[in-house]
Structure 1
Amino acid sequence: MPLIFVNYRTNDEEATATLVDRELSRIFGEENVFRASKSIRPGSRYPQELLKAVRRTSVLLVVIGHRWLEAGGTGTRGALEDENDWTRREIEEALENGAVVIPLLVAGARRLRSEDLPVALGDLADCQYRRLDHRNAAADLGRLADDLIALLPELATAARNHGHGDDHGDMDGNGTARAREGSRTGSRAGAVSHRRRGGMGNLNGDFSGTFVSDPRGPVHTGSGHLYAEQRPDRGGRPVDGAR
């Protein structure tokens, strides 16, 4: 069964839910991400399929836009007030079954308040949320994926199996992302880029020693004496070398 369940409301951020599903499916695999319109096969009984999936999922992402509280309602009654509303039922099931529930606030949607929610969903307002801005979607979804990797070792393994580590650093034995050491040429030099003009610095690692940036005049980094060119008209004098 999928480890991630994408919960959303039709007529609010349905297109965003599709975007989230596609990106997380790319990272973790189609089999690990459930979105009703994609994952329920034609002819299947969707109430049973929805409940079975949400009861077995580990993480429920609640995609929330500006119209999430009102969309789908009738008159002055919001859709969430209906006990048979599927968006509500999925969240209730996830909370009752101990899944991690993450509100995903889209395009500046405000944080949920418990007083705006039915009593049965009150805990949703206390769940730590993440934001998704369409102008920064790639970075926001990348951070979300990293959050999920940190939450579940199973997702860390799935990400590694689908090549996520190749783009975002290798995974260690515990499934935690770590920075790749060295470059593709095998260099492990622990040097920091030196951008200052006219100075000296050190390189450590496989390549070690002293470098000189933009030298002006005589340069000496060894032992002994360095003598400047002695010109009678300028009164050149010997310069003592490094001590």
Structure 2
Amino acid sequence: MSNIFISYRRDDSRWATSRIHDHLCARFGESQVFMDIATIQPGDDFVLAIENAIGKCSVLLAIIGDRWLSIADSMGKRRLDDAHDFVRLEIASALKQNIRVIPVLLDETRMPDTDLLPEDLKLFGRRHALTIRNETFRQDAARLIEILEKAMNQEAQAILAGQWRDEITGTTTFFRQNDNRVIGFYDLGEQRKIGVYVGMVEGNTAKLSLEWLNENYKANAEVALSPDGQKISGVWWNRNAEEVKIPLKLQYVSDEMPVWLNEDNFQPFNRFLKFK
């Protein structure tokens, strides 16, 4: 799953898009950013790969240069008027699936007038855009990353809402073994140590499980972090597995790993799934 999908025209914004792509990968990781040839493997069906990626992404960035609207095919027909145009398909698919679409205007490019857009892109013309200029690229890219973090966190927190059987709160600690990380959870009220195993699937989607370390009791949990990344709250219920989305704060915790709460540790470590 790629959380950020980059839609662009090669003849219009290839170099600027590559630069944006590199900055996003440096922040979120390469697996979280989809940009056609950078993600699609040789032999993959290009159309199916794009459709699948659109359905799984949290945000679509539409990179718009000064020729995005007017680029034509070999017959002189505007590409955007072709119902099979990849850029049109990408944006229309995101709009249809209620995926957040953010227009990114390059330099002095203006947002296309709604009257010049095909019917399935009319809503796109109403999206508020962000401008990235060559001379202020670093500042503009930093602003884009800030917007993406906020958007993805909001989605994750909304998905975490549900009907809970019970609730516990405590303080987190972090432990790393063989490049794996887990979240330690301590229930102060019950004086029982709990391990919340966080296995990153991709992006901000994770499979979570909750285990009492001193009892033969296992259940699944959803977790949420406070803004400072220190407090954690969890819930448990009676299903065997649950795939949820978690805020970016949980993915990008500090590399400082305090001592694990349970001095006896716990095995086997290969049960822990990686997350970044």
TM-score range for the pair, normalised by the shorter chain length: 0.5 to 0.7
Residue 75 of structure 1: how far off its partner (Å): 4.8
Report the Cα offset of residue 150 of structure 1. 1.0
Give the number of equivalent residue pairs.
Answer: 166
Question: How far apart are 1:77 and its partner, in Å?
Answer: 2.7
**Pair member with larger Rg:** 1
Contact 2:69 2:112 in 1 (8 A): no
Structural RMSD (CA): 2.4
Distance 1:145 1:20 in 2: 10
TM-score using structure 2 length: 0.56
Matched residue, 1:172? 228
Structure 1 CA distance for aligned equivalents of residues 74 and 96 of structure 2? 27
Which letter does structure 2 place at the counterpart of 1:21?
H
**Superposed CA offset, 1:121-177 (max 9, x none):** 000110110000011101000000001111112899979xxxxxxxxxxx524767x
Q: Which has the higher strand share?
A: 2
Q: Which residue of 1 aligns with 2:60?
A: 60
Q: Distance in 1 between matches of 2:74 and 2:5?
A: 27
- Secondary structure of the residue aligned to 1:101 is strand
Higher RCO (CA 8 Å, separation ≥ 6 residues):
2
Q: 1:215: which partner in 2?
A: none
1:23 aligns with 2:23: yes
Judge conservation of contact 1:61–1:101 (CA < 8 Å) in 2: yes
Distance 2:248 2:41 in 1: 32
Could you tell me how far apart the structure 1 residues matched to 2:73 and 2:23 are? 30
Counting only pairs closer than 5 Å after superposition, residues 47-126 of structure 1 correspond to structure 2 as: 47-126=47-126
Any idea what SS the aligned residue of 1:172 has?
A: coil
Instruction: Give me the whole-angstrom Cα distance separating, in 1, the residues matched to 2:26 and 2:156.
Output: 12
1-side partners of 2:4 and 2:156: how far apart? 9
Quick one: which amino acid aligns to residue 62 of structure 1?
A
User: Normalising to structure 1: TM-score of the pair?
Assistant: 0.63
Q: Is the 8 A contact 1:106 1:133 kept in 2?
A: yes
3-state SS of 2:135 partner: helix
Where structure 1 has 5 or more consecutive residues not aligned to the other structure, the ranges are: 160-170, 177-243
Are residues 70 and 128 of structure 1, via their aligned partners in 2, closer, same or farther at CA, if it must alter by over 3 Å? same
Give the match's secondary structure for 1:71: coil
Alignment of 1:30-41 (within 5 A): 30-41=30-41
Where does residue 228 of structure 1 map in the other structure? none
Change (3 A) 1:32 1:115: same
Kept in 2: contact 1:10–1:72 (CA 8 A): no
Q: Against the structure 1 CA distance between its residues 72 and 17, is the aligned structure 2 distance closer, same or farther, given a 3 Å change threshold?
A: farther
What's the % identity of the aligned pairs? 29
Give the whole-Å Cα distance in 1 for the aligned partners of 2:87 and 2:143. Answer: 25
8 Å Cα contact 1:9/1:87 also seen in 2: yes
User: CA separation of 1:175/1:33 partners in 2, compared to 1, >3 Å: closer, same or farther?
Assistant: closer
SS at 1:42's partner residue?
A: coil
Q: Which runs of 4+ in 1 moved over 2 A?
A: 72-77, 154-159, 171-176
| Helix, strand or coil at the partner of 2:67 | coil
